[in-house]
Amino acid sequence: MTELLANYVCGQWQTGTGAGTPLYDPVLGQELVRVSSAGLDLAAAFQFARDTGGAALRALTYAQRAAMLGAAVKVLQSHRDAYYDISVANSGTVKNDTAVDVDGGIYTLSTYAKLGESLGDRRWLLDGEAARLAKDPLFQSQHLLSPTRGVALFINAFNFPSWGLWEKAAPALLSGVPVIIKPATTTAWLTQRMVQDVVNAGIFPAGALSVICGSSAGLMDQLQPFDVVSFTGSAQTAAVIRSHPAVTQHSVRVNIEADSVNSALLLPGEALGSEAIDLLVKEVAREMTVKSGQKCTAIRRVLVPQSLYNHVAQALSARLSKTTVGNPRIESVRMGSVVNREQFVTVQQGLAYLQAQTEVLHDGAQHTLVDADPAVACCVGPTLLGTRNASGSDASDRVHDTEVFGPVATLVPYRDQDLNHALQLIRRGQGSLVASVYGTDHGALARAASELADSHGRVHVISPDVAALQTGHGNVMPQSLHGGPGRAGGGEELGGLRALGFYHRRSAVQASTQVLSQL
């Protein structure tokens, strides 16, 4: 039998009961490790984190907690090779895709270590300036932000076992709020290993960081009014979490990041030969193939003026056809596998669902796998679909409503010179994490960005002057907000110090300035 990974709760490593659930290599098919949370005393686990972990973290200043994040960064960097090994084995990712998760997670943690330093030797934050409540300036109102006295429960997605942990844990721990992480079972290994390395290094106080691998059953039942929960995953599970009595009756704060049908938009007026068109093609092909399209921020809809449809379709297809797919251990392979057999099947079903309203511009099935058995390996070639003509775009609904979580995108033409038509089509996504805009006219790009802002958590603008600098449509930078309204779940993560808001409670202290000056 393979190793049964231990959970870390109540300041102790505890293995669950039973045989557990096996984790597999999605390329080679073999079992790697097993996880189980059966038999854990969840009530004790949450109470220990809330009371022991919370009190210890709150006793520290932001600067002290920031220093701990910095120490964790060093520990994680020293074990980086092990994380790459786990990632290739359990996630089927090529080296560049592993970097997005592993190095992306460590970079985000280090960013919060630096941001936290700037908050200094305080235990809570001032929010804005004091405001007079009367003509006499002696009585005023000062808003504070205080760390919530509860735990932060993270129920995470399979696609980012490292980054998904640290992008949430960094602002929580910096805020003084203990973390309980429940990674997606299928890739829980990397999360568990990273927590283990940090715990063993003895950086954080007992109860600050817990990991529970296996079923999520019963976790929500533990939540109390000052706890928070952050979920990344399907809209269906999100609805279950939002409907739980902890949320509906006890006002447990929720952050959701769910489905998102992100767009890339080529502005009207770009002539053949424009660098903006090349930049779009390059970015779309990259976004489709990074992590086999298993990024919640990946481009799903590509909007171009109708007269450029054929040109972009050909350029994209040419680029995609060069993507080698197969065993991520082979140097020449650019794209590994999706995460497991279930996702493999779901992607095929999603493709078939979209194909009923689209044409296939580049067929992923034509990619021969490199050093991988098609009967075993969960490898999916990149597929580009298209809705052909602009009026056809209006009739298609599936492309705007369906997130196929794999290397799949759809080319959607809009009426030439009609930016409003493009914006209307994008809005049919009902709120997304990110849209990218491509063009050469800075003013037109600014106007399009401001039109997209209310329905997207992030608008990524690519013009030729930043071609070499731009950080990528799908890369989530800790300096920028991550989240999106509507279908995308309505959550807000990252955005620099904005992320701390979720873990703090705002309060107005109305008092004599003699009192306020001693806060």
**124 interacts with a second copy by CB under 8 A:** yes
For the CB of residue 474, give the shortest distance to a second copy in the complex, in Å: 12
For the CB of residue 245, give the shortest distance to a second copy in the complex, in Å: 8
For the CB of residue 177, give the shortest distance to a second copy in the complex, in Å: 11
Alpha helices in 224-375 (DSSP H): 235-243, 245-248, 275-289, 309-321, 341-355
Looking at 209-217, 239-247, 332-340, 407-415, which segment touches a second copy (CB under 8 A)? 239-247
Angle at alpha carbon of residue 387, lines to 319 and 365, rounded to 5°: 45
**99 interacts with a second copy by CB under 8 A:** no
Residue whose CB is less far from a second copy, 11 or 496:
496
Of 458, 474, 499, 502, the residue at the interface with a second copy (CB under 8 A) is 458
- 340 to 399, contacts with a second copy by CB under 8 A? none
**153 interacts with a second copy by CB under 8 A:** no
Alpha-carbon gap, residue 455 to 459, rounded angstroms: 10
- 256 to 315, contacts with a second copy by CB under 8 A? 256, 258
Of 131, 217, 271, 365, the residue at the interface with a second copy (CB under 8 A) is 131
Of 235, 330, 370, 376, the residue at the interface with a second copy (CB under 8 A) is 235
Strand stretches in 11-102, DSSP E: 12-14, 21-24, 31-35
What are the Cα distances from residue 55, in Å, to 51, 177, 199, 310? Answer: 6, 9, 18, 61
Of 24, 48, 226, 344, the residue at the interface with a second copy (CB under 8 A) is 226
- 473 to 492, contacts with a second copy by CB under 8 A? 477, 479-481, 485-490, 492
**1 interacts with a second copy by CB under 8 A:** no
For the CB of residue 155, give the shortest distance to a second copy in the complex, in Å: 15
Q: Are 298 and 436 in contact (CB under 8 A)?
A: no
Alpha-carbon gap, residue 182 to 186, rounded angstroms: 11
For the CB of residue 247, give the shortest distance to a second copy in the complex, in Å: 6
For the CB of residue 414, give the shortest distance to a second copy in the complex, in Å: 19
For the CB of residue 140, give the shortest distance to a second copy in the complex, in Å: 9
Of 229, 463, 474, 500, the residue at the interface with a second copy (CB under 8 A) is 463
- 494 to 513, contacts with a second copy by CB under 8 A? 495-496, 498, 505-512
Number of residues near a second copy (by CB under 8 A): 84
**17 interacts with a second copy by CB under 8 A:** no
Of 460, 493, 499, 502, the residue at the interface with a second copy (CB under 8 A) is 460
Q: What type of residue sits at position 268?
A: P
Angle at alpha carbon of residue 220, lines to 214 and 224, rounded to 5°: 140
Residue whose CB is less far from a second copy, 268 or 495:
495
123 Cβ contact list (under 8 Å, min separation 6): 58, 59, 60, 61, 62, 147, 176
**59 interacts with a second copy by CB under 8 A:** no
Residue whose CB is less far from a second copy, 234 or 348:
234
For the CB of residue 293, give the shortest distance to a second copy in the complex, in Å: 21
Q: Which residues are catalytic?
A: 257, 296
**178 interacts with a second copy by CB under 8 A:** no
205 Cβ contact list (under 8 Å, min separation 6): 52, 53, 56, 57, 60
Q: What type of residue sits at position 429?
A: G
Looking at 22-30, 39-47, 343-351, 465-473, which segment touches a second copy (CB under 8 A)? 465-473
**225 interacts with a second copy by CB under 8 A:** yes
Q: Are 312 and 305 in contact (CB under 8 A)?
A: no
How far is residue 397 CA from its own chain's centroid?
25
How does DSSP classify residue 26? T
**80 interacts with a second copy by CB under 8 A:** no
Looking at 28-36, 311-319, 321-329, 454-462, which segment touches a second copy (CB under 8 A)? 454-462
How many helices and strands in the chain, by DSSP H and E? 17, 24
**431 interacts with a second copy by CB under 8 A:** yes
165 Cβ contact list (under 8 Å, min separation 6): 105, 154, 156, 181, 183, 191, 194, 195
What φ, ψ does residue 395 adopt, rounded to 5°? -80, -30
Alpha-carbon gap, residue 450 to 440, rounded angstroms: 16
Looking at 76-84, 99-107, 133-141, 288-296, which segment touches a second copy (CB under 8 A)? 133-141
How far is residue 443 CA from its own chain's centroid?
30
